[in-house]
Structure 1
Amino acid sequence: MEDMSESPCESVPSQLGGGPDFHGLIKDAVVVLTRLPEYKMSTLRPPTPQQFYSEDESLSSSDSDLQWEPEDDSSDSDFSLSNSKQKSVKPLKSDTVRTPAPSTSGSSNSAPHCSQDVTPARPSLPVEEIKVDMMVLARRRPMRWQRGKVLEIITREDGRLKYKVGFEEKGRSLVSGHHIAFDTTPKLEQLYVGARVVVQCQDNKYRFRPGILAELPSRKNRLRFLVFIDDHTPVYVGLPSLHLICRPLDDVLEDVPDGSHKRFMKQYLKDWPYPHLTQYRPGQSFNAELNGVQQRCEVQVVDCSLMQVVFQETQRKEWIHRGSIRLEHMTRFSD
């Protein structure tokens, strides 16, 4: 018998029978294997529900994660949320960094995410009109926006437009177009990394805070939007919580208060779609900034690009971005 093991993709004679109707012809069946591009293969994979999303996948799938391990050996542990028995983790050197260079073709060995398909560029779409009696969200103070109605549109001598807004909770303000946001839910095609938005506060549905859109929904972040609030607070939100600024500035960072967060956002948008991210696991401890001072904290939960930490001295819990300037290991990447 002929050995076919060395040519598994060669043609194999089709045994259709040797009767007179076939005139002694034997047809060959040919199998052609075509390798699909990775981006097509990823679209065929069903989304993974959150409860089946392994921590290893959420931590290691990023193409630009930085691997950091705390120097304190006592904190090098990993435990599950079900309070299972702790397992020791082999410590890494503090200067261990994994930053694979992005492929020139725009693809990688891991499943692609939305950041590889977008750039921080505003889409070319028709500008939505602002009308009198329109409900909007307007700035009352830098970190406090409220719902109100456009009472009057005023044209200044230099041609600039100002909008007089009457708030639902009393009071009026005369604001510029970049200090009001649409009260309606935006369309997906209007959103992009770097968009200026306001989001509804989780503890008060009548309060809104300004920020910059940092991630679009993808399988990697469990179909959520990541927003950096102007005070450096990161939040994952759904589409209904987002509101687009009506007339954003050409450089959205001009509307962000000067300081470390503004520098962080400038670097973040520059590095996109490969922002720096540290890697931690629940149970590990390190230093992070709190009230202007580096303090010891411990990781409680890792959620995609964010992690919840508890500060050991005060037991205060906070969500911190894994590339935040508050982390002691990220100071070397700040300007």
Structure 2
Amino acid sequence: MSDSLCESVDSTNETPSKKTQLEDGSDSLSVIKKAVVVLTRLPEYKISALRPPTPQQFYSEDESHSSSDSDMEWEPEGDSGDSDFSVPDNKQKTGKPTQNDTTKTLPPQTSTNNDSVSEPAPIIISSAFAYCANEITKVRPNLPEEEVKVDMMVLARKRHMRWQRGKIVEIITREDGRLKYKVNFVEKGKSLVSGHHIAFDTTPKLEQLYVGARVVVNCQDETFRPAILAELPSRKNRLRFLVFLDDHIPVYVGLPFLHLVCRPLENVLDDVPDSPHKSFMSRYLRDWPNPHLTQYKAGYILNAELNGVQQRCEVQEVDSSLIHVVFKDNQHKEWIHRGSIRLEHMARFWELRRVQDVSD
């Protein structure tokens, strides 16, 4: 196809030409046809059909409603190019919901803040997060356990939110058969820990990981912190791992930043201190792969918990399942999960669900 997106058609014009030929000893007049190409401008609908498909068109109809985890499409009021997610303004356009997706809207909410106008309540969605089994699995794979031995470098728990690199110097078997590992830390000190408080110092293999896996994360400040794996790589999260640190902080990381705990507990939540975060993770793992998420776009004003108090903040950026917010009072910035109980909308949503369950 040419650059001008034109169509070649056959011509019906004929150009006669005299040519003398000896046929049975006499001259005859023959007609020679010459091919003529006529270029015709295609209609706009044909041009659109001939253009190469965009990446989104490569997915099925159920998938292509949005590159996010929502089956709802909103009519934008302005520039929303920095976000795959949006909340309705005064107008909204609803796409055809997929079979596994549900959406819920909170009751209308009026702001009590004098310096801002009332905000419409956001949509809260519950939709299939991914479309391949290896992207949503939350079952621990049936693989042989890696050996843990003396002189092995590991990451070991020194305090609850602080793990450090060290070497196993002795393995002790208790009377009840439990194993304890004596670790000498590289920096300083030693500790006697259980198998669920040491992690391999090597990068795990992808097939070893699953949603709900107990991991230790190498954070940007070069500290090691315990976490639970919450998302596997998919096109919805730009092929990254989402983890929740034990203090409820969500982080997107690559595979080299993860370390698999050597001997995790049967229920990984038993290793998380009792807290609102533990309740959140319990509900999150129960609902996966259909987590409840709020829909926001850049510029949206909402309330979120900071230092135990709901405070006004503004969404600066949306990145897959996270939003980057800045708090109005002190300009504090951080990433918050869109399903976090720190968000006032999610707290209200779950309270309404609880009341409804009780009444039912």
Q: Deviations over 1:251-300 (max 9, x none)?
A: 00000010100000000001100000001111111110001111111111
- Within 5 Å, which residues of 2 pair with 1:277-288? 277-288=293-304
Aligned-partner Cα distance in 1 for 2:142–2:132: 19
Native 8 Å contact 1:64 1:277 kept in 2: no
Q: How does 1:61-100 map to 2 (within 5 A)?
A: 63=101, 71-72=110-111, 92=120, 94=121, 97-99=124-126
Q: CA 1:64–1:257 in 2, change beyond 3 Å: closer, same or farther?
A: farther
8 A contact 2:166–2:183 mirrored in 1: yes
Report the TM-score, using the length of structure 1 for normalisation.
0.71
Contact 1:121 1:193 in 2 (8 A): yes
- Structure 1, residues 216-273: CA drift from partner, whole Å, max 9, x if none? 0011100100000000000000000000000000000000010100000000001100
Which residue of 1 is the match for residue 202 of structure 2? 184
Q: CA deviation at 1:333?
A: 1.7
Unaligned runs of 5+ in 1: 1-40, 77-89, 103-110
C-alpha displacement of 1:57:
3.7
Aligned to 2:14: none
Q: 2:252 is matched by which residue type in structure 1?
A: Y
Q: Offset at 1:201?
A: 1.7
- Alignment pair present for 1:162 and 2:180: yes
Gapped runs of 5+ residues in structure 2? 1-57, 68-79, 88-94, 355-360
Note the alpha carbon deviations across 1:306-332, whole angstroms, 9 max, x for none: 011011001000100000010001113
Q: Does 1:265 align with 2:277?
A: no
Q: Give the aligned partner of residue 333 of structure 1.
A: 350
Instruction: Write the distance in 2 (CA, Å) between the matches of 1:66 and 1:234.
Output: 24
Q: 2:334 aligns with which of 308, 314, 318?
A: 318
Alignment of 1:90-239 (within 5 A): 92=120, 94=121, 97-99=124-126, 112-114=130-132, 118-203=136-221, 205=222, 207-239=223-255
Contact 1:287 1:327 in 2 (8 A): yes
Aligned position for 1:6: none
Deviation at 1:120, TM superposition (A): 1.7
Kindly state the Cα deviation for residue 213 of structure 1 after the two structures are TM-superposed: 0.2
For 2:123 and 2:226, locate their aligned partners in 1 and report how far apart those are by CA, in whole Å.
Answer: 36
Distance 1:64 1:218, change over 3 A: farther
1:116 CA drift (Å): 8.2
Does the 8 A contact of 1:227 with 1:235 survive in 2?
A: yes
Distance 2:230 2:102 in 1: 15
Taking only aligned residues, the RMSD between alpha carbons, in angstroms, comes to 3.0
Please state how far the C-alpha of 1:112 moved relative to its aligned partner.
4.2
CA 219–58 in structure 1, closer or farther in 2 if over 3 Å, else same: farther
* Structure 2: distance between partners of 1:249 and 1:147: 21
Task: Tell me the alpha carbon deviations over residues 157-186 of structure 1, each in whole angstroms, 9 at most, x when there is no partner.
Answer: 110000000000010000000000000000
- The answer on whether the counterparts of 1:288 and 1:327 sit within 8 Å (CA) in structure 2 is yes
Match of 2:313 in 1: 297
Q: CA deviation at 1:117?
A: 5.1
The TM-score with structure 2 as length reference comes to 0.67
Alignment check: 8 A CA contact 1:198 1:210 kept: yes
SS of alignment partner, residue 249 of structure 1: coil
Residue 71 of structure 1, CA deviation: 3.8
8 Å contact kept, 1:65–1:276: no
> Counterparts of 1:116 and 1:67 in 2: how far apart (Å)?
31
Report the identity percentage.
65
Instruction: Tell which has more relative contact order, 1 or 2 (C-alpha 8 A, sep 6+).
Output: 1
Structure 2 counterpart SS, 1:261: helix
Q: Show the 5 A alignment for 1:13-92.
A: 42=59, 55=82, 57-58=84-85, 63=101, 71-72=110-111, 92=120
Which residue of the other structure, out of 322, 342, 347, is the alignment partner of 1:306?
322
Q: How many residues align?
A: 264
Structure with the greater alpha carbon radius of gyration: 2
Q: What amino acid is aligned across from residue 240 of structure 2 in structure 1?
A: R
